[in-house]
Structure 1
C-alpha cells in the first residue's frame, strides 16, 4: 500500500516506499482496535508511540521533506505542529490526573497492609479528588471533539485523529464515563461509521464502587489499579518523548 499526501486541492507526491507502507500498516492496525480495557488502552498507547516513531522516520525522508517544504503546504505543516502540541497537552493532562490518583491509592494500600491509620478519611479524600477531576472532563471532552478543518497531509492527519481518539478513550476510562472504545472521535474526524457508546466497568470504577459502598476494601483491587495507572503513566511518557522528536522533525521542515 502506498501513502498519499494531500492538502485540500493541492496534491503532494505519492511514492511507494517501505517506510510509507509500514506507516499505513500501523494505521490500519490502530483503526481495527476496538477494545476498551486498561490493558488494551496501554497496548494502543504503545502502538501510537511506535507509529509516531515511524512518522518521524517518514517525515525525514528526502521526498517527504521536499513535499512538505513547498510553499502551498506551509499552512498544513503548521497545522501538524499545532496538532502535535495539542496532543502533548493531552499527555500532560493525563499525567496530572493519574499522578494524584496513584499517590492516594498507594497511601490507602499502605494503610490496608499495615491495618492502621485513618483509612476512611483517606478513602473520602481519594473520592473527593476523583469527583473534582471528573468535573474537568466536559471541558477536556469538548477540546477532544473539535474536528479539524479540511485535510492535513492525509497520513499525518489521520495519525493525529487516531491519537486524539485514544485520549478520548483514556479519559473516559479514567473518569468512569461511558466508554467509546470503538474510536467514536475517529468516526467524527475521518468519517468512519458511527458507533454506540457502551457502559463499562473497569479498574477505576470498580475501586470507586468499593470505596463508596463501605464494603470490605480489597487490597488486591487497589493493587491492580495502582499497577494499571503505572502502566498508563509509562506509556504516556514514552508517547510524549516520541511526539517531541516528531515535532522537532516538523519544525526542521519549516526551517528549510
Structure 2
C-alpha cells in the first residue's frame, strides 16, 4: 500500500513543544526503519507502540485539545477515530492468526520431539490453515484508510499512515518475503552461496518450504518460528493496548 506523508503544518505552536518534537523523532525513526531491509519487524512494532504512547501524551496537552476542539478539524478527528478502530480490528485479527499458527506449530514440534503421531496430517493442516489465512488479510487491508484532512493535526494522520504501513509489512512478513532478525542470525551460519540463494527467506517461508518439499523437518527451525510468533504476538498486543489508550484520550478530549 503506497502511502504519502504530504500534509505537515509549520504553523502550530505544538511543533516547538518537547513532546511534539519527541513524536516527530519517533515518526522519523519509523520511516527510516521502513526503508531498511535489515530492520527487525519486531523492533518496528515496539517502536510503534512507543509512538502511540507518546501520541497519547500529546493529546493531553492544552494546545492539542484546543486544536481538536476546532470546528474545521471535526471531520479529521472522526476519520482518525474510525481509522484507529479499524486498525484495532486488524490487531485482533493478527493476534488470532498468529495464535492459530503457533498452536499448529507447537503440535508439530511435539510430534517431532516425541517421534510419534500423525506428523504429515498436522503439516497438511498447518499449510491449509496458512493458505486460508493468507486470503483473509487483503480483505482487511482494503478497509484501512488514512485520514488526509485537518492540516494542523497532520502528525496524527502521519502516525496512522505509518501504522497502516507497518501492518502491511507484518502481513508481507508472515506470508511474503520480508526477513526478521532471528532468521538473519541463523543465516550467518550458512555459506555465502547459500545465504545468497535464501536471501528472501524468513522464519515463515523457511518452514513452509520444509513442509512442502517433504525434506526432513528440523525441530530447530520450527522452534525459531514459534519463538518469533510469540514475539510478534506480544508486540501486537502492546500496540493494541496503546491504541486503546490513544482512542480513550481522543474521546475524553472530545467529551469535554
TM-score interval for Structure 1 and Structure 2 normalised by the shorter chain: 0.7 to 0.9
- Which SS does the other structure have where 1:38 is aligned? coil
Q: What do the CA deviations read for 1:188-223 (whole angstroms, capped 9, x no partner)?
A: 999999999999321101000000111000000000
Q: Does the CA contact (< 8 Å) of 1:2 and 1:20 recur in 2?
A: no
Does the Cα contact within 8 Å between 1:123 and 1:211 map onto a contact in 2?
yes
Deviation at 1:143, TM superposition (A): 3.1
8 Å CA contact 1:179, 1:198 repeated in 2: no
Higher relative contact order (CA 8 A, sep 6+): 2
Question: Is the contact made by 2:183 and 2:203 (CA closer than 8 Å) also made in structure 1?
Answer: no
Of Structure 1 and Structure 2, the greater helix share is in 2
Q: 1:190 to 1:177 in 2, by over 3 A?
A: closer
The answer to whether the Cα contact below 8 Å between 2:9 and 2:154 also exists between their aligned partners in 1 is: no
Output the TM-score relative to the length of structure 2.
0.83
Partners of 1:2 and 1:16 lie apart in 2 by: 30
Residue of structure 2 in register with 1:4 after alignment: 4
CA distance in 1, matches of 2:151, 2:186: 14
After superposition, give the CA deviation of every residue in 1:135-175 in whole Å (9 maximum; x if it has no partner): 22332343347775686821000000000000000011111
Contact 1:169/1:180 (<8 A) preserved: no
Distance (Å, rounded) in 1 between the aligned partners of 2:147 and 2:159: 14
- Given the two structures, how large is their TM-score scaled by the length of structure 1? 0.83
Instruction: Kindly indicate whether the alpha-carbon contact (under 8 Å) linking 1:5 and 1:13 is maintained by their aligned counterparts in 2.
Output: no
User: Is the Cα contact below 8 Å between 1:68 and 1:74 reproduced in 2?
Assistant: yes
Please say if residues 49 and 239 of structure 2, whose CA atoms lie closer than 8 Å, have aligned partners that are also in contact: yes
Residue 249 (structure 1) shift: 0.5
User: Does 199-208 or 142-151 show the bigger shift?
Assistant: 142-151
May I ask how many residue pairs the two structures share in their alignment? 256
Q: 1:196 to 1:71 in 2, by over 3 A?
A: farther
Rate the CA distance shift 1:61–1:11 in 2: closer, same or farther, 3 A. Answer: same
- Greater displacement, 187-196 / 85-94: 187-196
Q: Against the structure 1 CA distance between its residues 92 and 13, is the aligned structure 2 distance closer, same or farther, given a 3 Å change threshold?
A: same
Moved more, 140-149 or 235-244: 140-149
Answer with 111-120 or 185-194: which moved more: 185-194
SS in 2 for 1:64: helix
Match of 2:233 in 1: 233
Residue segments in structure 2 that go unaligned for 5+ positions in a row: none
Decide whether the 8 Å contact of 2:30 with 2:44 is kept in 1.
yes
The CA distance in 1 between the partners of 2:23 and 2:191, in whole Å, is 20
| CA distance 1:92–1:4, change in 2 (3 Å) | closer
Matches within 5 A, 1:30-179: 30-34=30-34, 40-144=40-144, 148=148, 153-176=153-176
Greater shift, 64-73 or 35-44, is seen at: 35-44
Q: Deviations over 1:201-256 (max 9, x none)?
A: 21101000000111000000000000000000000001100000000000012112
- Alpha-carbon distance in 2 for matches of 1:151, 1:197: 47
